[in-house]
A and B are shown apart, each in its own frame.
Chain A
Amino acid sequence: MRRTAEAPAEEPRTVSGHDRPPDRATTVEVVGVGHAFGALAVIDRLDLGVGAGEVVGLVGPSGCGKSTLLELVAGLLEPDGGSVRVGGQGAAPERLARCAYMPQRDLLLPWLSAIDNAALGPRNRGASRADARRAAAPLFERFGLGGFERSRPSELSGGMRQRVAFLRTLLAGKPVLLLDEPFASLDAITRAEMQEWLAAAIAAQARSVLMVSHDVEEVLYLCDRVVVLSPRPARAVAELRAPAPRARPRDETVAATDFGAVRERALRALREGAR
């Protein structure tokens, strides 16, 4: 059974002060949004919603405006037209306050240890270095980074850097997670491992997630619902429900026949959207 927004299957766990269960305040609403950079239209009258506690994936061809859409939701950009609301609030500072954004590159600061990188959010909110590390330490243990707290980013593998970047996003302590191609830079094996890792990490969190990818299989495996976008300017051309509940072993999930069927539908939508 798919879990619904009102009744999360997992006990909502808290990371940094978010002890409320997900409610209406965690919802992303994108209505009729258009955006252009100069004469280049990147998004065209796009509608999109993310329910509380829901994990939504966006797939589309490269350069179709997926990252721009995340930046619009995050409050880093203002749309040219339409409205973006997060938790019912439309102003950019309100969106920034509610969204944690994980960019494509890990963007770890090379002069900080892994744990200090992960704890940047609490530090910025005024926590002392020791308190911020105390908040981050249990996540390092839980998400397979135990023992690497003091490592410099240059000493970590690509997959581990990506995990640290994800923990940094979690520790931002926001109800909405925006993930921009979280594993685009990893090799296929690491990528499959990280997808499983992320599925478990998201399942352990009571957050709404909007993630972007150009990999259909990745989003179908990780998300409840997948929206297929057309090439630039991006429109929603199809919407698909993921065939299996989240956070199951990856191999089993992607090998199932119904998974293959949905993947084919998504790929067909991508191809048709490109015409």
Chain B
Amino acid sequence: MALLEVRSLVKHYPVRVGLFSRRQAKAVDDVNLTVNPGETIGIVGESGSGKTTLARCILRMIEPTSGEVIFDGVDLLKLGQSSLRTKRRELAVVYQNPYLSLSPRLAVRDLVSEPLVTHTSLRGDALNDRVVENLEAVGLSADYLNKRSRQLSGGQAQRVAIARALVLRPKLIVLDEPTSALDVSVQAQVLNLLVKLRTELGFTYLFISHNLDVVQHLADRIAVMYLGKVVEVGTTDQVFSQATHPYTMALLAATPEPHPDRKASLVTVQGSVPSLTAPPTGCHYHPRCQWAVERCRHEMPALRLDEDRRAVRCHFPREYFQASKKFE
């Protein structure tokens, strides 16, 4: 059974345009997603694609407009405040910027023990031992117990945030761009740590990133989002070696590859992200797609499901894939 199943999740924000009229910004628009236990799913997309909003809806940091979030057999969106609070024990998040997500006045000891104090009856020495144990799991030591986040480097602070997330051994850890605020040299260390923890403790990750390289390093499956919708789903290999949606292809092409033989790809993203309040008609991607035809301007493609859970939201997926191969 799936650990997390997101069913037709929608989050609309009312946006004021002009003095009296309002429009809906469809930040997350009919998203379906399945995460199996032990699996790492990567959610990829540019800024404004709704990937963080999706995560915030799943965690109920914001209330979605409609949909279902079945986590561990329970619809999180139907839970009352107190049962939700109990359920939060099974969920954890690591945020982008540890300096913002860690309370500036609390010592590492209190930051890491907070989930334990909230959900267990561990206190005193036993609590302290558990905190140290988890600090060691993320490559820190008891020396850090009394430090505050501003006294730590970015990598160390993010390790504290990770220790805080794993201290209760949650069933699902949401990683919201956990490396993008860090120095490049530290990014790899943190990613390797995440991989190590997954192998040792069997965590399930929902990994959000705009960086395909980072996602490739970690994810088993990838969902690509564009303007609030999932446009392509597949295993990491499938998405990287045979992307079928033009947007995915463009994203892949945008990642520079340090190899002298590799020429710049012909697939590029043109223009900028359209407004969420006035999305393009038909396929949302058509104004930026180099292969768009008349049909794309009028008709929104459905998410076509192929065998082995592969999905793509495009009218002509394979053809473009082949077309682009031909040009290369």
Please determine whether chains A and B interact with each other in the same assembly. Answer: no
- List residues of B whose CB falls within 8 A of some A CB: none
- List residues of A whose CB falls within 8 A of some B CB: none
